[in-house]
Structure 1
Amino acid sequence: QRGHLCGSHLVDALYFVCGERGFYYSSNRNQKGIVEQCCHKPCSIYHLEGYCE
């Protein structure tokens, strides 16, 4: 399932996916930030996991 996640919805999704591991807003694998990847375009939970610590 893919969806647009912006603002607090994006942060809530990251807390849900990453849990106590925490997360960061830029991925080493991709120069684009999570806002560009998940707010401007739809992304999946699997994509969000790439931003977990």
Structure 2
Amino acid sequence: NAWHKYIHLCGSHLVDTLYFLCGERGFYYRGIVEQCCHKPCSIHHLEDYCN
């Protein structure tokens, strides 16, 4: 299941993925680089950063 796969996302890959997941809701950045770039995180975890 892709929702539980853990991936590293950094830079534009991280931003593009958040735009795709969050859409018009938007998102915030605080802590996300540490969570998803320095360490792997899941798509489900990324959704926690949507507004």
TM range (shorter): 0.7 to 0.9
Query: How many correspondences in the alignment?
Result: 47
Q: What fraction of aligned residue pairs are identical, expressed as a percent?
A: 81
Q: In structure 1, what is the Cα distance between the partners aligned to 2:7 and 2:22?
A: 17
Deviation at 1:7, TM superposition (A): 0.2
1:12 aligns with 2:16: yes
TM-score, length-scaled by structure 1: 0.84
Q: Which ranges of structure 1 fall in alignment gaps of 5 or more residues?
A: 27-32
* Structure (1 or 2) with the greater helix fraction: 2
Return structure 1 stretches of 4+ with deviation > 4 angstroms: none
Counterparts of 1:1-53 in structure 2, within 5 Å, are 1-26=5-30, 33-53=31-51
User: What SS does the corresponding residue of 1:48 show, helix, strand or coil?
Assistant: helix
What SS does the aligned partner of 2:9 have?
coil
Displacement of 1:2 after TM fit? Answer: 1.2
The amino acid that maps onto 2:34 is E
User: How large is the RMSD of aligned CA atoms in angstroms?
Assistant: 0.6
| Unaligned 5+ runs, structure 2 | none
Q: Give the number of the structure whose residues are more often strand, by fraction.
A: 1
| Partner amino acid, structure 1, of 2:23 | G
